[in-house]
Structure 1
Amino acid sequence: MTVDIDTLFVMLDEEQPTEVQEAALREARKIKSLSVFMQPIEYKWSWENCAKVICEKTDKELDTYICEMLKWLRDLNWPGAFLIMERLEKMDSQLLVYAVGYQVKQAILLKDNEWLTYMSYLLKNKKLYDAFSENKKCQKILKRYYESYWGKLDY
């Protein structure tokens, strides 16, 4: 079965029957350009399934999409946000450190404290915290947000 991208997103909609969503996920896994799954604006109710496709990829496959994945954390009510957060949490900290640092700067410019709070959750991975040794300012900011929302860090 081959479907056009618009039909695929309709099929990925979480309101569709499970078997339709599963067929769509099988098709979606064949698409190499992951950017189409990064919160397609026209199809918000497909985001949970888009996140499933994204989260199945390796760190290497996701490397160029980390900034886009971090944007998903602007609102944890968005479909797929928790899946993306869990996947980011498991990524190699050396891959994450630049993108997280960049998005922290963006969140500060936007005065988006909620986004900073949700990105700070990634510090749960001590390797990421340690990876920020070169960027103490970012490390401090994220730690402050982490501890004010999620609780005390043990390091």
Structure 2
Amino acid sequence: MEDIHALIQKLDWDTSEAEQAEAIHKLQDIQDEELRLLLQPLGKEYWDGAAEVIVKLGYPSVKPILPGLLEWIQDMNWPGAGRIAPLLREIGDPLIPYIQDVFRNHSQDEEWMYWIFEMIIDYWDKDQIVQIQEELIRLTEGKIIALKALRTLWVHQIYSGESVLLLLEDKMQRSLTEIAQLEIAYPGIDCEALGRGFSEAIFTPELSRAYIEEHREEFNFCHRKSTLHDFVSEIEELVSECMGSGNAPA
């Protein structure tokens, strides 16, 4: 096989279609110890081609790089992520230990966990969900990802609709209480006016930086309040879904 690095160089977006197709074909003879070189190589302009090679190799050929493939969907805007996600979804059970590791050790990365739910877990069957049940239950203690976990436990009949509704009511009350406490602690802040003021200064970097610094505390308040209101809206959506299904999954 041609030098592996030279072939990867031909995965560039600007490479001719014929050359890129030839490189993708030749890279399917890659050795296990070189597979890691396909994990988001060089710059983003090479990632679509690398993902195409990985998908063509398929499972179990890509088993040695499963953790790296899971990292690829940390951001679904990344080139190649849309090709990698369906492959991971189809792999199923062998991926479970790596997802458990993310849920246990990277729970602060909510965007990554969100995409794992959206791209993989939401497509799994109950047998697979039961295997990550412990992690899902632990995730229900948080906020945004907690709702994804609760919905999964409900849909697969691990939690009853009644139990989920009780947990959602508790989260709702806690969030509304936190909003009320924020408004007491920071009275009179007009978030819309704050936003308008920033919009007027945004095209002058010096002014915008000074405006943010001057109103940092108000910005923090408005961001926190907005985040809580969004969370309450998501709770209401899940409550509506549970109630609309007669407290049982569709």
TM more than 0.5: yes
Question: Hey, what does 2:28 align to over in structure 1?
Answer: 29
Q: Answer whether contact 1:13 1:49 (CA < 8 A) is retained.
A: yes
State the distance in 2 between where 1:114 and 1:14 align.
Answer: 27
CA distance in 2, matches of 1:134, 1:25: 36
The verdict on how the C-alpha distance between 1:58 and 1:19 changes in structure 2, with shifts beyond 3 A counting, is closer
Query: Which residue does 1:16 correspond to in 2?
Result: 15
2:58/2:87 contact within 8 Å kept: no
Alignment of 1:41-60 (within 5 A): 42-60=42-60
TM-score (norm 1): 0.80
1:143 Cα offset (Å):
7.1
C-alpha spacing 1:58/1:17, structure 2 compared with 1 (3 Å): closer
CA distance in structure 1 between the aligned counterparts of 2:57 and 2:4, rounded to whole angstroms: 19
Query: How big is the shift at 1:5?
Result: 2.7
1:7-30 deviation digits (Å, cap 9, x = unpaired): 212211122111111111122111
Q: Cα deviations across residues 104-149 of structure 1 (Å, max 9, x unaligned)?
A: 22331xx21110110112112233x53242442323436733766x
CA distance in 1, matches of 2:55, 2:27: 12
Q: % of aligned pairs identical?
A: 21
Q: CA deviation at 1:72?
A: 0.3
Q: Secondary structure at the match of 1:61?
A: coil
Between the aligned partners of 1:14 and 1:105, the Cα distance in structure 2 is 37
Contact 1:97 1:132 in 2 (8 A): no
Residue correspondence of structure 1 range 85-104 to structure 2 within 5 A: 85-91=85-91, 93-104=92-103
**2:117 maps to 1:120:** yes
Contact 2:52 2:83 in 1 (8 A): yes
Specify whether residues 3 and 43 from structure 1 end up closer, same or farther in structure 2 by C-alpha distance, changes over 3 A only.
Answer: farther
Query: Greater Rg, structure 1 or structure 2?
Result: 2
In the TM superposition, structure 1's runs of 4+ consecutive aligned residues that sit over 6 Å from their partners are none
String of CA shifts for 1:33-79, please: whole Å, max 9, x gaps.
32211112x23311111111111234222223221110001111111
Aligned residues: 147
